[in-house]
Structure 1
Amino acid sequence: MSLHLFLTGDVQVGKSTIVSGVVAELGVRVSGFRTVAIVGEGGESDIFLIPAAGTREDCTPAAHLAHRVPGRMPEVHEEVFVSCGVPLLAGCSGPLVVMDELGWMESSCFLFQEAVFSVLDGTVPVLGVVRDRRLPFLDAVRGHPHVEVLVVTRENRDELREVVLRRMRERC
């Protein structure tokens, strides 16, 4: 059995919802990170990198990772991966680490990638989300020897939530 469990699948299929629900039901202390999108007028959104147990109050200017305008590539502030993401991963301890989510924006942020792999090489279980996109960093995460990847679909997401919960109870 792999130590770490990552979910992948289409956008808005329910991956982060599964992670949040499983974490809530486990009732354990978590470390790591999650990304939060706050949608504004006209469909524009701001994306923040916050502690896994954080709240909207953690969506501060220092944690502002990207600004997205519909129909355009997001404006990414890669330095946030270093200033926020690396410390959040360096401080990871048990019983569970959350990485929600790993995607294309960190493709050229090698310090953050190193921090991700340092956690994956460790002994604390990870529950995360990894984008279903072919990029060297994401391929390496999916191919890590301690990682198991489950594909979430609209058809299996309710059943998969129970599978993930059962597997994470065995790990934590």
Structure 2
Amino acid sequence: MPTRILLEGRPGSGKTTVVRRLAALLRTRRVVGFTTEEIRHGGTRSGFALETLKGGQRAVLAHVDFPGPPRVGRYGVDLGVMERLALPPLRSAAARAAHGDLVLIDELGRMELACTAFQDTVRCLFESDIDIVATVHVHSDPFTDALKQRPDVTLVQVTLASRDTLPEELAARLGGP
């Protein structure tokens, strides 16, 4: 049975840090997915960048200067970034459905979920035989709430106190060092 872990935490709790460290620890597995991180200018958050785990392709996903639609808060979201960078490796993993693959997604947030094709791909991944670790926000959302309620999903809280030990704990569970 595939492993399904959702890492839930508040902004700044270390979810992205956990995913990046976990990816580095699991070098013996085929790992695909992406991380997102804040873009800051002068101490103020101005947007978010998306970076693929394999190949390190990077692009601005959302920014205060993007017109949208869609808009999430004060950020316009470039859904083309999801289509070009995030979706191809995820779709490939879903089609391959190879036992031993691991999908890491940071994150299942409002900006990423504004892309309907991303939602469809995530649903497909959760129906496949692939291990998945994804970060989720603590806010209620119909899409992520449904994933959190799945009986095959383990919900793990990420806090400033737990973020340093979680990568090694998760790596051991997922067959890493």
Give TM class, smaller chain: 0.7 to 0.9
Query: What residue number does 2:85 align with?
Result: 84
> How big is each residue's C-alpha offset from its partner over 1:2-44, in whole Å with a ceiling of 9 and x where there is no partner?
6111211121111221121122122133112222333234524
Mapping for residues 126-165 of structure 1, pairs under 5 Å: 126-165=132-171
With over 3 angstroms needed to count, the CA separation of the structure-2 counterparts of 1:73 and 1:17, relative to structure 1, is same
Aligned-partner residue type, residue 155 of structure 1: A
> How big is each residue's C-alpha offset from its partner over 1:51-95, in whole Å with a ceiling of 9 and x where there is no partner?
22343xx22xxx3310148xx621212343334332231012542
Contact 2:47 2:62 in 1 (8 A): yes
Q: Secondary structure at the match of 2:63?
A: strand
Mapping for residues 1-172 of structure 1, pairs under 5 Å: 3-27=3-27, 28-41=29-42, 43-55=44-56, 58-59=57-58, 63-68=59-64, 73-92=74-93, 94-169=100-175
Normalised by the length of structure 2, the TM-score is 0.78
Q: Distance in 2 between matches of 1:19 and 1:153?
A: 13
With over 3 angstroms needed to count, the CA separation of the structure-2 counterparts of 1:120 and 1:153, relative to structure 1, is same
With over 3 angstroms needed to count, the CA separation of the structure-2 counterparts of 1:144 and 1:79, relative to structure 1, is farther
Normalised by the length of structure 1, the TM-score is 0.80
Aligned-partner residue type, residue 140 of structure 1: A
Q: Distance in 2 between matches of 1:128 and 1:153?
A: 15
Contact 1:2 1:148 in 2 (8 A): no
With over 3 angstroms needed to count, the CA separation of the structure-2 counterparts of 1:78 and 1:2, relative to structure 1, is same
**How many aligned residue pairs are there?**
164
Unmatched 5+ residue regions in structure 2? 66-72
With over 3 angstroms needed to count, the CA separation of the structure-2 counterparts of 1:67 and 1:149, relative to structure 1, is same
> How big is each residue's C-alpha offset from its partner over 1:116-150, in whole Å with a ceiling of 9 and x where there is no partner?
11111111111221111101111122223432110
Aligned-partner residue type, residue 38 of structure 1: I
Which has more helix, going by share of residues? 1
Q: Give identity over the alignment, percent.
A: 33
Q: Distance in 1 between matches of 2:106 and 2:163?
A: 17
Contact 1:121 1:146 in 2 (8 A): no
Q: Secondary structure at the match of 1:47?
A: strand
CA RMSD of aligned residues (A): 2.6
Aligned-partner residue type, residue 81 of structure 2: V
